[in-house]
Amino acid sequence: MTTQTVKFRVYRYDPDKDAKPYMQDISVEVDTTTERKLLDALVKLKVVDETLSFRRSCREGVCGSDAMNINGKNGLACITDIDTLKQPIEVRPLPGLPVIRDLIVDMTQFFKQYHSIKPYVINDTPAPDRERLQSQEDRKELDGLYECILCACCSTSCPSFWWNPDKFVGPAGLLAAYRFIADTRDTATNERLDNLEDPYRLFRCHTIMNCVDVCPKELNPTKAIGKIKEMMLKRVA
């Protein structure tokens, strides 16, 4: 077993006892053969200081629980290699959302925007006895859209979302909106476009592309947003 000391600067805030947030300098020994990810080190850190609070679940990048700001960039702790990070590793909660405690943010606003786009297939035609048929080409349109894990790395790295979290749907919500627009089984495209026809909801995206840069699933919300904008314009013409 080879060990390595990992140095951290961690954002700490417990409203139950702290008047204001502070940065804690702390380090921890990890086994370099089995504890290679940032989450492994944080879990180890929690053994040293059990008050350190963060969300985590699947530890393989599919549940979206452990999104945080790592050395200034949003990402998932469980799929970020410690080796790739400059130390001390500065870990903060996702920016732009209210902090509940330490690295745990209140995601209410983020999910409210996701819910606002009606994230479900709408199809009022009677369902057939068997599956609705979809060609392989049509199904391919959903690739790069349905894989979103709702971690919020993208929306909380987007300046437009920071400014107007209540009005701008944000990259995650808009990616989901396009996921349903692009689905041949969904019959509500017009209604969905109407729902986004507003100076803020869609058009606050200024293609800064932070969302693309941080997405841990390598998805491209900007591209999806571009496609929705294109459809809006076509509709006017």
Partner 1 sequence: MAIPVRKFDAVIVGAGGAGLRAALQLSEAGLKTAVLSKVFPTRSHTVAAQGGVSASLGNSEPDHWHWHMYDTVKGSDWLGDQDAIEFMCREAPNVVVELEHFGMPFDRNSDGTIYQRPFGGHMSNFGEKPVRRACAAADRTGHAMLHALYQRNVRANTQFFVEWMALDLVRDTDGNVQGVVAMEMETSDIYVFQAKATLFATGGAGRIFASSTNAFINTGDGLGIAARAGIPLEDMEFWQFHPTGVAGAGVLITEGVRGEGGILRNAQGERFMERYAPNAKDLASRDVVSRAMVTEINEGRGCGPNKDHVLLDITHLDPEVIMSKLPGIREISIKFAGVDPIKAPIPVVPTCHYQMGGIPTNYKGEVVVDGKPVSGFYAAGEVACASVHGANRLGTNSLLDLLVFGKSSGNSMIDFIKAAPKDLPELNTADVDRSVARVDRLNNQKNGSNVHEARAAMQRTMQAHCGVFRFKDMLAQGVEKILEVEQMVKTTEIADKSKVFNTARIEALELENLIEVAKATMISANARTESRGAHVRDDAADTPERPNGRDDQNWLKHTLWHREGNRLDYKPVNMNPLTVETIALKTRSY
- Contact residues for partner 1 (CB under 8 A)? 14-17, 33-34, 46-47, 50-51, 53-65, 79, 100-101, 104, 107, 111, 115, 118-121, 123, 127, 129-136, 139, 142, 146-147, 149-150, 180, 183, 185-186
CB of 69 to partner 1, least distance (A): 18
> From the CB of 160, what's the least distance to partner 1, in Å?
23
Burial class (CB in 10 A: 0-12, 13-18, 19+), 128: exposed
**Is the Cβ of residue 34 or residue 233 nearer to partner 1 in the bound state?**
34
Structure token digits, residue 87: 């130390």
**CB neighbour list of residue 194: distance below 8 Å, 6 or more residues apart:** none
CA distances from 123 to 80, 146, 232 (A): 40, 18, 21
Helix axes 170-181, 221-236, angle to 10 degrees: 60
CB atoms within 10 A of CB 115: 12
Q: Please say which residue, 152 or 228, places its beta carbon nearer to partner 1.
A: 152
> At its nearest, how many Å lie between partner 1 and the CB of residue 81?
8
**Shortest spacing between CB 166 and partner 1, in angstroms:** 19
- Cβ 63 vs Cβ 78: under 8 Å: no
Nearer to partner 1, 65 or 222 (CB): 65
3-state secondary structure 188-213: CHHHHHHHHCCCCCCCCCCCCCHHHH
Q: How far is the CB of 237 from partner 1 (least distance, A)?
A: 30
Q: Is 167 helix (H, G, I), strand (E, B) or coil?
A: coil
